[in-house]
Amino acid sequence: QVQLVESGGGVVQPGGSLRLSCAASGFTFSRYGIHWVRQAPGKGLEWVAVISYDGSTKYYADSVKGRFTISRDNSKNTLYLQMNSLRAEDTAVYYCAKDAGVAHIYYYFDYWGQGTLVTVSS
């Protein structure tokens, strides 16, 4: 069965950095785009970034552009999110989510991980 397991969350000071990981299993990781979606405490969902199946294409939400970098290692079936210049408003549970399209990004998410909490606070 499809499994996505995030890790790397924690408490970081404003202006600091953090790298999240998402380990995938149960499907051919190298054939699918993968997204990061976040949810601030008690709030709704916000799309953050996507990377294509081969890592050649990356798109970001305006709120994180220039600060966050999405990447993947298909040999390790793992997705990453490097977060720099963190702000209080980046505090959220970060989910990795599999795109439903094969070798094409459809921008909807058919499987989600359980999420990892990032808290930006001094």
Partner 1 sequence: QSVLTQPPSASGTPGQRVTISCSGSSSNIGSNYVYWYQQLPGTAPKLLVYRSNERPSGVPDRFSGSKSGTSASLAISGLRSEDEANYYCAAWDDSLSGPIFGGGTTLTVL
Is residue 73 part of the contact set for partner 1 (CB under 8 A)?
A: no
**Sign of torsion over alpha carbons 43, 48, 52, 55:** negative
Give, in degrees to the nearest 5, the angle at Cα 23 between 95 and 68: 50
CB-nearer residue toward partner 1: 78 or 116: 116
Task: Show the tokens assigned to 61.
Answer: 């939400």
CB-nearer residue toward partner 1: 68 or 113: 113
Instruction: Choose which of 21, 46, 67, 84 interacts with partner 1 (CB under 8 A).
Output: 46
Instruction: Choose which of 1, 41, 44, 56 interacts with partner 1 (CB under 8 A).
Output: 44
Q: Which helix (H) or strand (E) holds 39?
A: strand 32-39
Q: How many residues bind partner 1 (CB under 8 A)?
A: 19
Is residue 9 part of the contact set for partner 1 (CB under 8 A)?
A: no
Which residue is it, tokens 């305006």?
62
Query: SS3 for 65?
Result: coil
Cα 27 from Cα 77, distance rounded (Å): 10
- What's the residue count for the chain? 122
Considering only the stretches 16-24, 74-82, 84-92, 107-115, report the one whose residues sit in contact with partner 1 under the rule CB under 8 A. 107-115
Considering only the stretches 14-22, 69-77, 79-87, 113-121, report the one whose residues sit in contact with partner 1 under the rule CB under 8 A. 113-121
Q: What residues make contact with partner 1 under the rule CB under 8 A? A: 37, 44-47, 59, 61-62, 95, 100, 107-115
